[in-house]
Structure 1
Amino acid sequence: MFRRRPPLPPFPPGGVLVGGAARDWLRGVPARDFDWAVPEPAGAARAVAGAVGGVAFVVDEERDYWRVHAPGGVQHDFVPLPVDVTADLTRRDFTVNAVALTAGGQVLDPAGGRRDLRARRLRMVSEANLRADPLRVWRAARFEVTLAFRLEPGTEVAVRRVVADLASGTLPLPAWERVRDEVHALLLHRDAARGVLRLEELGLLALTVPELREGIGLVQGGFHHLDVFHHGVEALHQLLARRPDAPLPLRWGALLHDVGKPRTLARDPDSGRISFHGHDKVGAAVTTQVLRRLKLPADDVAHAAALVGAHMVPLPAGEREARRFVHRRRALLPDLLSVMLADREAARGPSSSPASRLAYARAMDRVLTALEEQPAPPRPLLDGREVMALLDLAPGPRVGEAVRAVAEAAALGEVGTADEARAFLRDWADRSAAEQSDG
């Protein structure tokens, strides 16, 4: 039984509402993205922008595609009205998307999409349509998660055939930007962890993030009860249980936090114990490689990689160490704590115990308390020029070391004035000189 249908925006003159917005209206779900087929896209876009207080702009001048960004994150897209709307619908990916609404309330449904909507079934219009744009196989996995539908058996067989042809090179891979957008639509859902497992089941993970698959079957022991791959998926699940609004770089950081383990696996020849020394640093490099391939913004790549690279940093045992932890990793907080907690909660192996979990929670609380007490770094007490004059230093790395040392002392509450900072730096320089002399 569908819910009561939400109101629709006014139809542009001669326009037809197509695709996802029409599908969601039939399901009784409010839409934020409206796709319109109209006789004159430029005029329709400008008229809608004026009516809703949005901004109209051309997306593809050659094909006359226009878009309106409206208040509240609502988007309207406008394309030329095809000569035969029904025939155009039969070229779409799935029957539930091959529906349209006219201004008069008529539902165009040439492929039986309403029947599949009622059955919560995802059925292709045709395999030829999937092959015409292979990105649609990623969309199949995404729709299963975001719509909570299930692939119809014949459609799943066809999806797997297309995936096999993509893997063999028989079909060309879509542009990475398009793949990224589909994967991100899946990762942004509250059930993203199940979506990652579905990508693996359909063979799509091997085409998207094959590095994750290297952990399948790699048993860890100790704190872990899952193999490396499923532990990463469970960490994503644990993250979203606590931070359902987590941004994408944080979601990637949780999913990929142990991606370096398969490449750092070592086994002691005597005891047979395994280790993964340096997997955090290797994982950061792999994360950078993965997310650059998927064309994420540079800042997002750097943040996710930094989270992976820092997730093994020991938590502080006392208040002073907590302040140092915050000072040194402020740019990653609180996201780093979220990844570390998700990692811990995803691990329920034989070494895990109520006592160890309590100790971990207390260490987390120390960091959070220190962060609350000092949400921003203290005001710099000395600048580089003052440091160079005080210590008689030429420009170079040593100046940076000195500036960082006095900044950390201020964050720890060891100095609070410029005079105290100067005295601290003189002692710091003397200690450093003595250590070098002893060396």
Structure 2
Amino acid sequence: MLVGGAARDLVRGGLPKDWDWAAPQPKAAAETLTAHLGGAMFALDEVRGYYRVVSGHEQHDFVPLPADLNADLRRRDFTVNALALHPDGQLSDPLGGERDLKRRLLRMVSAENLRADPLRLLRAARLSLTLDLTLEPATRRTVMALAASGLPLPAPERVREELHALLLHPQAARGILLLEELGLLALYLPELREGIGLEQGGFHHLDVFRHGVEALHQLLQRFPAAPLDLRWATLLHDVGKPRSRSQTGGEVHFYGHDRLGAEMSRRMLDRLREASALSERVGRLIAAHMVPLPADERAARRFVHRRRDLLPELLSLMLADREAARGPLSSEASRLHYAQGIDRVLAALEDQPAPPPPLLTGQDIMALLNLPPGPGVGAAVRALNEAAALGDVATPEQARRWLLAWADSAPTASPED
């Protein structure tokens, strides 16, 4: 029989993403399904009889059929998950989960069940968002009380998966606000809360925290298929502002918040055991989000050359940031100017979707400039590559003449990385 979230999704009229089965002989049932669907079968816990079948995008988990089904369902987190669908179509629903689904309510089975696994507090926010259910008042109060009670935190990997599911939802910004309302943001992303009440002025009409949430909303309104790294970067792009705030006279500054925010975001995502590649990319997007947009075609080519591997995601982040501001200094003219800068970058990227091939090798450059191996060679390579991207050189001979002039005028020069 189908149990838990899989039964819930079928009762709601949808198809489960993950199928959870209870069977008298789970191994035999998993083997039968593998033979039917193909894919791979493996044991999650051979002693307890837990097996998983993965076929394409489908995942099927098999566990032993409980001796007392209703008792097993009463140990679940929420009533909408305390459901079991029998092969004959009969529904076991000892706690009124089907009724709660119809009323669009997310109601806990008990406070003790939530306390037994603190991840269920985070799941309350995620299910409320992704299933579009309202938290029943007593459940909301219980989640808030348990969040403030000092329960041990779940494993970071489990937290990460819940946050992924929330961030990948079209209404992820609303989900972040719900985390704050329930007291969960303080447990898992406390750095974000440092921006609550921190006013910015200028182009901004929201405090730092609300601005980040609004930027995420603006991003998903324009780019609903935005990948996870871009969603993280947009939410966290100003996380460094509270710690970089300074004041000169009556003017508030946030100098270096982009670099500090990049460092903070990496630490936050590392804490969640995010993949290092994702954490690094989020940091690089945040570090670059304040770079001025180009004012002409040549500057646009330079912009593309220096940040090609961050494009076009960086532009999406910058646009979401700009559209989330709308403060007293914002105007239609300033928005048009910003849009023109983005268009220049997109045109340059379309004109040169890949970097030009190298005109000289490192060995060529070392011989030409009489350089030993070391940083000087790297600086010369970067300078020449940028000159080629800008169209200043197009042949090996032009590259040699350009490099000799470059070395004479600025022998220690190194273009911005």
TM-score (norm. length: structure 1) = 0.92
Give the equivalent residue in structure 2 for 1:48: 33
Give the equivalent residue in structure 2 for 1:280: 258
Name the aligned partner's letter for residue 100 of structure 2: D
- Is 1:152 the counterpart of 2:129 in the alignment? no
Name the aligned partner's letter for residue 141 of structure 1: A
- Is 1:201 the counterpart of 2:148 in the alignment? no
Give the equivalent residue in structure 2 for 1:317: 295
1:292, 1:102 → 2: CA distance?
42
Root-mean-square deviation over aligned CA pairs: 1.3
- Is 1:109 the counterpart of 2:93 in the alignment? yes
User: Which residue of 16, 23, 26 maps to 2:11?
Assistant: 26
Aligned to 1:105, the other structure's residue is in SS state coil
Q: In 2 relative to 1, CA 435–191 (structure 1 residues): closer, same or farther, beyond 3 Å?
A: closer
1:222, 1:435 → 2: CA distance?
36
Give the equivalent residue in structure 1 for 2:160: 180
Is residue 106–residue 136 contact of structure 2 (8 Å, CA) maintained in 1? yes
Once the two structures are superposed, the pairs formed by residues 406-425 of structure 1 within 5 Å of their partners are: 406-425=384-403
1:114-145 deviation line (CA, Å, top 9, x unaligned): 11010000001111100111100000000111
User: How many pairs does the alignment contain?
Assistant: 414
Aligned to 2:34, the other structure's residue is in SS state helix
Aligned to 2:239, the other structure's residue is in SS state coil
Once the two structures are TM-superposed, the CA of residue 434 in structure 1 deviates from its matched residue by 9.5
- Is 1:370 the counterpart of 2:340 in the alignment? no
Aligned to 2:48, the other structure's residue is in SS state coil
1:31-52 deviation line (CA, Å, top 9, x unaligned): 2210111222232222212211
* Percent of paired sites with the same residue: 63
Name the aligned partner's letter for residue 253 of structure 1: A
1:320, 1:49 → 2: CA distance?
58
User: Which residue of 22, 27, 43 maps to 1:37?
Assistant: 22
Once the two structures are superposed, the pairs formed by residues 17-416 of structure 1 within 5 Å of their partners are: 17-71=2-56, 73-166=57-150, 171-269=151-249, 272-416=250-394
1:294-320 deviation line (CA, Å, top 9, x unaligned): 110000000001111110000000001
28-37 or 324-333, which deviates more? 28-37
Once the two structures are TM-superposed, the CA of residue 60 in structure 1 deviates from its matched residue by 3.0
Q: In 2 relative to 1, CA 434–141 (structure 1 residues): closer, same or farther, beyond 3 Å?
A: closer
Aligned to 2:148, the other structure's residue is in SS state helix
1:412, 1:19 → 2: CA distance?
59
1:434, 1:55 → 2: CA distance?
57
Aligned to 2:149, the other structure's residue is in SS state helix
2:116, 2:35 → 1: CA distance?
36
Once the two structures are TM-superposed, the CA of residue 435 in structure 1 deviates from its matched residue by 8.3
1:386-435 deviation line (CA, Å, top 9, x unaligned): 11111111110000001111111111111112222112111111112498
Aligned to 1:349, the other structure's residue is in SS state coil
56-65 or 148-157, which deviates more? 56-65
* Structure 2: unaligned runs, 5 residues or longer: none
44-53 or 136-145, which deviates more? 44-53
406-415 or 139-148, which deviates more? 406-415
Once the two structures are TM-superposed, the CA of residue 335 in structure 1 deviates from its matched residue by 0.8
1:189, 1:87 → 2: CA distance?
33
28-37 or 190-199, which deviates more? 28-37
Name the aligned partner's letter for residue 54 of structure 1: G
1:401, 1:435 → 2: CA distance?
7
353-362 or 176-185, which deviates more? 176-185
2:48, 2:397 → 1: CA distance?
67
1:434, 1:201 → 2: CA distance?
54
